[in-house]
Chain A
Amino acid sequence: MANILIVEDDKDLNNAYTIILNKEGYTVESAFDGQEALDKLTSFKPQLILLDLLMPIMGGLEFLKQFNLKNHPDVKVLIFTNMENSPEVTEAYSLGAHRCIIKSWTAPHNLARVITDALESKPAKPAKDLSQNKA
């Protein structure tokens, strides 16, 4: 099973995602801001990063700039935020984010499914057939 890095400053949510993804069989590491995530990435090699945008110390956009997905074609980044339709989300896409999910709309089973879909998809391929997203 794949490795997943969760980058989320809210401890309750970080803990919840860890429980959900552990149960799905993934190996999960947690970071609580962008800087801690960069530090973890020196030893932990995830195939997917679940990334919040608004965080203290270093936010998600700054993390994306420093991590630079162009140098890591095998890593997918899923943006997990409550700022839907915001300029920050648009910028995250331009920095190579695979998909954006709205936290407050996403139930655990859907989170697990979106992660499976993302891990199975090829890099930078937008989902053309939208009906495939159905549960």
Chain B
Amino acid sequence: MEKPHNNNRTRLEEERAQAEALFSSLGDGAIATDQFGKITRINSVALELLGYSASELIGEWFPRRIIALTEKGAPINLIDRPITQAFLTGKPVNEKTFYQTKDGHRLPVSISVSPILLANKPLGAIEVFRDITLEEEIDRMKSEFISLASHQLRTPLSAIKTYSHMLADGYMGDVTAPQKKSLRTIISATNRMNELISTLLNITRIESGTIAITPKILQLDKAAEEVIKDLSLAASEKSIRLTLKKIGQTSTRVKTDNLIVKEVISNLISNAIKYTSDEGTVRVEVRGRARDVIVGVHDNGWGIPASAHDQVFSKFFRATNIVKRETTGTGLGLYLVKGLLDRLGGTIWFESVEGKGTTFYFTLPKAAAKVRLKV
């Protein structure tokens, strides 16, 4: 019979061998560090991906030896490195970043760093990472496809719409009233198809998580002004008065994604125009506050029935009073707006009285949304 301490040693050795085998056989790159961030162990996949030999990395300080880069190729500050964040917060950190290989190549990687804690004190960390070159390429191709599809689908629609208008407006000779009515139907169907294309493409982007957020400083009232410029024609087709006002003196500067925020504003104003009678009014007001900026889109349109208030942001939802009057909605616009604002760290709500009008409000924080830690 073996003595107990021999038994314990054997078990410890077995566990160590198992851990070693697990570490070495991982299909992804794996790096272990001590509590100071010095590399204690690295598997063969990590060595192959980074182009180093084990002797070049063991004992080295991880953040200094393995350089992480931003998308533009600049080195990432120590404080923003996932391993630092893992040590500071004591929690696992998942992130996408770029590693510089030994030969200077920029390798896109998805990484997961977990601190090893004993009685809340870090003993070290383990980072697992994998090469996502192929995924990045597929993402890029998908974005390109979406952009191209959007353009290509709309080009024939533009021709249908333009020629239908030309026929209806008498560019090709006189048309009878019934012919004109038929042409108006064609035009309204092409408008609907256009909206569907935009909305579906945007929803595909947001649901698949491929919507890219590039925060930069912008003034929300200026962004609204640009959107209104684009939509002034749609408003004028219904003789709707569309105005913009900046309220108060507080800055309306936010750090957010310019294109996404314009998509949000554009959807809210388009809705206001669509669900307001001819010669109505749509007012956009932007007010800077201490920590955020609030935008209100007011209309004196048909309003949302009280019974429908809790479903307004649901996918494919359309209010009963609207379905009877306006057949061109998709029930996707506000679902999209809500999804986009969630991604930007914003909030949205509304006030509405049926027959009087609706105001949609949204806010965006002045600091950039922390969708994920800096890459």
Which A residue sits closest to B159, measured CB to CB? A12
Q: Are B229 and A19 in contact (CB under 8 A)?
A: no
Complex contacts, B368 vs chain A, CB 8 Å? none
Q: Are B159 and A19 in contact (CB under 8 A)?
A: no
Count, chain B residues at interface, CB 8 A: 40
Complex contacts, B162 vs chain A, CB 8 Å? 12-13, 16-17, 103, 107-108
Q: Which of A12, A85, A127, A135 contacts B266 (CB 8 A)?
A: A85
Which B residue sits closest to A16, measured CB to CB? B162
Complex contacts, A99 vs chain B, CB 8 Å? 229
Complex contacts, A134 vs chain B, CB 8 Å? 232, 235-236, 239, 241-242
Q: Are A86 and B259 in contact (CB under 8 A)?
A: yes
Q: Are B243 and A131 in contact (CB under 8 A)?
A: yes
CB distance from A7 to the nearest CB of B (A): 15
Q: Which of B155, B244, B259 contacts A85 (CB 8 A)?
A: B259
Complex contacts, A135 vs chain B, CB 8 Å? 236-237, 239
Knowing A85-B259, A85-B262, A87-B259, the reply to whether A104 touches B225 (Cβ < 8 A) is no
Q: Flag whether B165 is at the interface (Cβ < 8 A).
A: yes
Which B residue sits closest to A130, measured CB to CB? B228
Which A residue sits closest to B172, measured CB to CB? A19
Q: Are B147 and A86 in contact (CB under 8 A)?
A: yes
Q: Are B166 and A54 in contact (CB under 8 A)?
A: no
Contact flags (1/0) for A98-118 with B, using CB distance below 8 Å? Answer: 011111111111100010000
Which A residue sits closest to B225, measured CB to CB? A130
Which B residue sits closest to A111, measured CB to CB? B162
Q: Flag whether B157 is at the interface (Cβ < 8 A).
A: yes
Q: Are B230 and A13 in contact (CB under 8 A)?
A: no
Q: Are B230 and A102 in contact (CB under 8 A)?
A: yes
Knowing A13-B158, A85-B262, A110-B237, the reply to whether A130 touches B244 (Cβ < 8 A) is yes
Q: Flag whether B258 is at the interface (Cβ < 8 A).
A: yes
Complex contacts, A114 vs chain B, CB 8 Å? 233
Q: Flag whether B81 is at the interface (Cβ < 8 A).
A: no
A13 vs B169: C-alpha distance in the bound complex, in angstroms? 16
Knowing A85-B266, A104-B154, A104-B158, the reply to whether A133 touches B169 (Cβ < 8 A) is no
Q: Are B194 and A105 in contact (CB under 8 A)?
A: yes
A84 vs B198: C-alpha distance in the bound complex, in angstroms? 9
A86 vs B230: C-alpha distance in the bound complex, in angstroms? 13
A135 vs B278: C-alpha distance in the bound complex, in angstroms? 13
CB distance from B35 to the nearest CB of A (A): 44
Q: Flag whether A90 is at the interface (Cβ < 8 A).
A: yes
Q: Flag whether B161 is at the interface (Cβ < 8 A).
A: yes
Which B residue sits closest to A9, measured CB to CB? B155
Q: Are A104 and B229 in contact (CB under 8 A)?
A: no
Q: Flag whether B65 is at the interface (Cβ < 8 A).
A: no
Q: Flag whether A75 is at the interface (Cβ < 8 A).
A: no
Q: Flag whether B150 is at the interface (Cβ < 8 A).
A: yes
Q: Flag whether A119 is at the interface (Cβ < 8 A).
A: no
Q: Flag whether B163 is at the interface (Cβ < 8 A).
A: yes
CB distance from A54 to the nearest CB of B (A): 6
Complex contacts, A19 vs chain B, CB 8 Å? 166, 171
Complex contacts, B230 vs chain A, CB 8 Å? 84, 100-102
A131 vs B225: C-alpha distance in the bound complex, in angstroms? 12
Q: Flag whether B234 is at the interface (Cβ < 8 A).
A: yes
Contact flags (1/0) for B195-234 with A, using CB distance below 8 Å? Answer: 0001000000000000000000000000001001110111
CB distance from A53 to the nearest CB of B (A): 9
A134 vs B242: C-alpha distance in the bound complex, in angstroms? 8
CB distance from B238 to the nearest CB of A (A): 10
Q: Flag whether A10 is at the interface (Cβ < 8 A).
A: yes
CB distance from B223 to the nearest CB of A (A): 10
A54 vs B151: C-alpha distance in the bound complex, in angstroms? 8
25 A-B pairs (CB sep. < 8 Å): A10-B158, A12-B163, A20-B171, A23-B171, A82-B158, A83-B147, A84-B198, A84-B266, A86-B147, A87-B259, A90-B259, A100-B230, A103-B155, A104-B154, A104-B194, A105-B194, A107-B169, A108-B166, A114-B233, A127-B229, A130-B225, A130-B228, A131-B241, A131-B243, A133-B233
Query: Which 5 pairs between the two chains have the least Cβ-Cβ distance?
Result: A133-B232, A135-B236, A82-B154, A103-B158, A12-B159
In the complex, besides A13-B155, A107-B187, 5 extra interface pairs with C-beta distance below 8 angstroms are A10-B155, A105-B233, A107-B169, A134-B241, A135-B236
Chain B residues with CB under 8 Å of chain A are 147, 150-151, 154-155, 157-159, 161-163, 165-166, 169, 171, 187, 190-191, 194, 198, 225, 228-230, 232-237, 239, 241-244, 258-259, 262-263, 266
